[in-house]
A and B are shown apart, each in its own frame.
Chain A
């Protein structure tokens, strides 16, 4: 009771004092106005400076605690974790939330169209990168964020030609090859792409990717078409028919895979004796798991993997930083010491050395190694962007029959 009285009396005193002060002050105010304005503008300037500082701090404080990076899983993602994610976390303290997918734009499209984008960064194939950009599924990337090479070459010259796009930055060169289990072929061993399609000469089940790409290209090359003529031929109905006719030859001997991790598993299980695969996956099985697999480089179809940011990604700025970080010369070269995918920076190529786990020389395992590159075809994203709807539909119809 007593305390309350004290508080009430105190509050009343303060109010009377304040009111009294303003009453007295009023007379003085007019004369001091000029001085006051000068002082205030000085304050404003000072405050503006402070505000900037605060905003910078705020921005630092607002940096996300994690970044969702989506890639193809298995040995490939593992190499990215080693080469990119770990050094990144060390440097920035921002965690990487790594997710797997099997390629394609469906999940990105679903996220973008529903407005609930949870992926910050996706590792995509070239044709999907271009199509996604055209369809407005990916954010445009300001290429000036990319650091110059170690030797000082500006980024746009340091990256191999055809690896930088409006919405995507390439990080590796990979290849679809076919591999076989050498224990299954004690005599003659397959050595050309034609051997893959010759189930009479080399008996046994084959594994192939469940889709038109790049089976059509491989089929034509197996039929003796030169790499340079493949897409020209495929642009004609007769060429497509020819490719499907080749596929017909091994249709009943083929098991179809969808995820990149499947082919080495199917080979290991004996489900197939040979299979098309991503070269890095087979490398991993050969070197890390000591599997008796042999890669046939003849008729390989090589492609790029690129980073792209889904439109409306929650941490777009950080994702850009991650792209710049992961594609600098050091990281680009480092990733090649975990899996046999080639770097896209010229300055990184000489730095590719040995495998991180086993210490073997990586260079002969690269798709771009001269002895592997004799009969190689670059995947034509433009052709696929135009024809994938029709080809996939026709492939599905062919498959179901």
Chain B
């Protein structure tokens, strides 16, 4: 975890409204450590891009302050913030060649010509585009344009690079490839990156930490694995990865665990994460890959009868839709390992899960 004194960016009680009626960002506090890759993840309209624009200086904050490297930057115009930015549509200047695009931030900083040429050459090498420097952006493929955009945001060696859904326009395969490239560039250069996306797998792939935003509020900020394994509320559980939801009522609490009466019938032992106490409504979150089909007797405390409604073959795993506790959207992921149990539609099965995999969250 980053130490507070190593923070590069700090949002301090930042609020933002466009129309004076609704807050798009609500009292946001956020520290971003030097060298960190932080992703703002959230659905559209969650305020993640607004945060980025405020950081870049294109939108003024309504309240609160943003501190960059110890200096408040609320009144610093964008071009003096020294922050690199990669845009969703790349925003390459169409009337300039690739080299001219890369040289632009250096020229406006009045660097000597030889130095500019050297930096441009290195930037092209970094994104493996040597030899394409004299092309116009329109002559490049989407992936190549994206790499130029990244190189341009990095070529003037900013303290901080912002990326606003930079891979949104690429197809799936290219997107995955670019994810690795961005990750490697970040690791090689050690630059601080703030990344905005609504794609949770992209966030999980790239980030040191992920801040999940919804409705202008950070729901949870954590490392990818913690976020996935230990979602702290129903929104995060649902937004990051897949999960089965069981609604019910808390009947008793014992230490870190609790017993929950499921609405569709049945009693489940779960991990008490965010509940209102006995008698309160709760939502149980359960990752599909943590559910076991026909568990060995006594292996797990929660075992229920189910019926296979649907099977989907996905190569590396099989998705089974099972009716459990009156809930017919219960998904189970069965790894396509050798010797896994063969299921058929309509089969009566037993499903079970461990207490620590079942998290009782806010309803």
Touching chains A and B, CB distance < 8 Å: no
The residues of A with any CB-CB pair to B shorter than 8 Å are none
